[in-house]
Amino acid sequence: MKCCFLIPIYNHHETIRATVTKLLPFNLPILIVDDGSDAATKAALAEIERDFAAQVTLHTRACNGGKGAAAMDGFRLAHAQGLTHALQIDADGQHNHEDVPQFLAAAQAEPHALISGWPQYDESMPLARKIGRQITHFWVHIETLSLKIKDTMCGFRVYPLAETLATMATKPIGERMDFDIEIMMRMYWRQVAVRFIKTPVIYPEGGRSHFNALADNWRISKMHTRLFFGMLLRAPVLIVRKFKRGQ
């Protein structure tokens, strides 16, 4: 297994250096994809690239395309560099770097599986986000005809690159906040094993969220509509899979 860290970033100049610093001791390549960030973030990234040139590679997108677009660029770049896995982690400090060894060990044990965080939130989680996640979980259980998918919105994951790129080649994947949900769903449909690891996730005080309540909820609603009809086409296979393999 040849793994890198993948950090999509858009306007998180306050937190990106601390995030990178916490990952350096794992001695893995760190690929940062700048999704058209502002000047302050570009300056912070230039310093990081200079200070940690041995481990950090910076890829800059010409304009903002969304978290999914940045992540998919990162997957392609990592695969082109001969890597087999990418551990995606957010730039804003939400994810617990101390759990990285568990994620890497799980990927090593099942190299063709998607390893995902199963967020354990504290009281810092906004109520609106909590309700939104519950609605998405409801639709995901319908779209998979299963209760096995614990969470589809956590961006703390180890992606097997061959399986991920093969999934991306079958259908266009949402490029913004719908990405995390849709890529997991489509990988699950393609019978890629999905494993979950409990991990604490926080909403840092004063943290910056790029979730647009109107636009992103509308985008996610349209995605669930597509996935629902996709489930109907796959229902016989999903039902057989559910009862044959206990999934």
Confidence of residue 79 (pLDDT cuts 50, 70, 90): very high
pTM, 2 dp: 0.85
Most confidently modeled of 8-17, 119-128, 229-238?
8-17
3-class SS letters over 72-124 = HHHHHHHHHCCCCEEEECCCCCCECHHHHHHHHHHHHHCCCCEEEEEEEECCC
Confidence of residue 19 (pLDDT cuts 50, 70, 90): very high
- The predicted model gives 21-29 an average pLDDT of 97
Domain hosting residue 98, numbered range: 3-245
- The predicted model gives 15-42 an average pLDDT of 96
- What is the amino acid identity at position 230? G
Domains contained in the chain, number: 1
* pLDDT tens readout for residues 118-145: 988 766 666 666 777 778 888 888 888 8
Residue 247: pLDDT over 70: no
- What is the amino acid identity at position 156? F
CATH number at residue 12: 3.90.550.10
